[in-house]
Structure 1
Amino acid sequence: MPISASLKTLFAAAGLALLTATPAVAETSGDDAPVLRGTGDLGVVIERATGSVALVDTTEKSVLEHVDGFGDLSHASVKFSRDARHAFVFGRDGGLTRLDLLTGEIDGRIIQSGNSIGGAISQDGRYVAVGNYEPGGVKVFDAETLELVADVPADYETDEGETAQAKVVGVVDAPGNRFVFSLFEANQIWVLDMSGDEPEVTKYRDIGSQPYDALITANGRYYIAGLFGEDGMALLDLWHPEKGVQRILPDYGRGEERLPVYKMPHLEGWAMAGDQAFFPAVGRHEVLVADTDDWSLTDRIEVQGQPIFVMSRPDERQVWVTFAHPDNDAVQVIDSRTHEVIETLSPGDSVLHKEFTPRGEHIWISARDSDTVTVYDTRTFEKLATLEAESPSGVFFTYRAHRIGL
Structure 2
Amino acid sequence: MRLIASLLLAASLPVGVLANASSAPDATALYQAQCQSCHGLNRLGGTGPALLPESLGRIKPEEVRNVIHDGRPASQMAAYGELLGSDEIDALVGYLYRPAEVAPTWSEADVRASHRILADVSQLPDSPQHGADPLNLFVVVEAGNHHVRILDGDRFEELANFPSHFALHGGPKFSPDGRFVYFASRDGWVSKYDLHNLTMIAEVRAGLNTRNLAVSSDGRWVMVGNYLPGNLVVLDAEDLSLVKPIEALGNDGTPSRVSAVYTAPQRDSFVVALKDVKEVWELSWAGTPDFVPRRILAADYLDDFSFTPDYRYLLATSRQAKGGQVIDLDTGEALTDIPLPGMPHLGSGIYWQQDGRWVFATPNISQGLISVLDLATWELVTEIPTEGPGFFMRSHENSKYAWTDVFFGPNNDAIHLIDKQTLKVAHTLRPVPGKNAAHVEFTQDGRYLLLSVWDTDGALLVIDSETLEEIKRIPMNKPSGKYNVGNKIGFAEGTSH
2:412 to 325, 328, 332: 328
The residue aligned with 1:298 is 381
Partners of 2:345 and 2:362 within 8 A in 1: no
Greater share of helix: 2
Q: Name the SS for the 1:145 alignment partner.
A: coil
Please say which of residues 267-276 and 364-373 is displaced more in the overlay.
267-276
The residue aligned with 2:145 is 50
1:246 to 335, 342, 346: 335
Relative to 1, partners in 2 of residues 1:389 and 1:267: Cα closer, same or farther, differing over 3 Å? Answer: same
Where relative contact order (Cα < 8 A, 6+ residues apart) is larger, the structure is: 1
The residue aligned with 2:427 is 343
Partners of 1:363 and 1:377 within 8 A in 2: yes
Partners of 1:135 and 1:165 within 8 A in 2: no
Q: Does 1:106 align with 2:183?
A: no
Deviation at 1:74, TM superposition (A): 5.5
Relative to 1, partners in 2 of residues 1:347 and 1:134: Cα closer, same or farther, differing over 3 Å? Answer: farther
Q: Distance in 1 between matches of 2:382 and 2:218?
A: 38
The residue aligned with 1:75 is 169
Q: Distance in 2 between matches of 1:142 and 1:74?
A: 20
Extract unaligned runs of 5+ from structure 2: 1-123
Partners of 2:386 and 2:406 within 8 A in 1: no
The residue aligned with 1:205 is 297
Deviation at 1:136, TM superposition (A): 1.8
Q: Distance in 2 between matches of 1:270 and 1:329?
A: 22
1:65 to 149, 160, 163: 160
Q: Distance in 1 between matches of 2:431 and 2:246?
A: 41
- Counterparts of 1:50-199 in structure 2 under 5 Å? 50-68=145-163, 70-73=164-167, 75-156=169-250, 163-197=254-288, 198-199=290-291
Deviation at 1:217, TM superposition (A): 2.8
Partners of 1:313 and 1:320 within 8 A in 2: no
Deviation at 1:41, TM superposition (A): 1.3
Greater share of strand: 1
Q: Distance in 2 between matches of 1:372 and 1:401?
A: 26
The residue aligned with 2:370 is 287
Q: Distance in 2 between matches of 1:162 and 1:155?
A: 5
Deviation at 1:56, TM superposition (A): 0.5
The residue aligned with 2:490 is 402
Code of the aligned partner of 1:346: R
Partners of 2:447 and 2:464 within 8 A in 1: yes
1:265 to 340, 345, 361: 345
The residue aligned with 1:231 is 322
Extract unaligned runs of 5+ from structure 1: 1-16, 25-35, 255-260
Deviation at 1:362, TM superposition (A): 1.2
User: CA offsets, 1:94-151, max 9 Å, x none?
Assistant: 1111111122221111111001111211121111111111112221211111112232
The residue aligned with 1:387 is 474
Q: Does 1:366 align with 2:457?
A: no
Q: Distance in 2 between matches of 1:222 and 1:206?
A: 12
Relative to 1, partners in 2 of residues 1:272 and 1:150: Cα closer, same or farther, differing over 3 Å? Answer: farther
Q: TM-score, normalised by structure 2?
A: 0.68
Q: Distance in 2 between matches of 1:284 and 1:37?
A: 41
Partners of 2:133 and 2:152 within 8 A in 1: no
Q: TM-score, normalised by structure 1?
A: 0.83
Please say which of residues 301-310 and 269-278 is displaced more in the overlay.
269-278
Percent identity over the alignment? Answer: 25
Partners of 1:136 and 1:154 within 8 A in 2: yes
Q: Name the SS for the 2:303 alignment partner.
A: strand
- Please tell me the root mean square deviation across aligned C-alpha atoms, in Å: 2.3
Partners of 1:122 and 1:128 within 8 A in 2: yes
Deviation at 1:19, TM superposition (A): 6.9
Q: Distance in 1 between matches of 2:382 and 2:186?
A: 36
Q: Distance in 2 between matches of 1:377 and 1:115?
A: 38
Partners of 2:269 and 2:283 within 8 A in 1: yes
Deviation at 1:282, TM superposition (A): 4.7
Q: Distance in 2 between matches of 1:342 and 1:206?
A: 37
Q: Distance in 2 between matches of 1:121 and 1:138?
A: 13
Q: Which has the larger radius of gyration?
A: 2
2:464 to 340, 362, 377: 377
Q: Name the SS for the 1:211 alignment partner.
A: coil
Partners of 1:141 and 1:150 within 8 A in 2: yes
Code of the aligned partner of 1:62: E
Q: Distance in 1 between matches of 2:168 and 2:458?
A: 15
The residue aligned with 1:353 is 439
Deviation at 1:177, TM superposition (A): 2.4
Q: Name the SS for the 2:489 alignment partner.
A: helix
Q: How many correspondences in the alignment?
A: 362
Q: Distance in 1 between matches of 2:220 and 2:172?
A: 16
Q: Distance in 1 between matches of 2:326 and 2:247?
A: 23
Code of the aligned partner of 1:64: L
The residue aligned with 1:23 is 129
User: CA offsets, 1:227-254, max 9 Å, x none?
Assistant: 244423222233xx225122231x2132
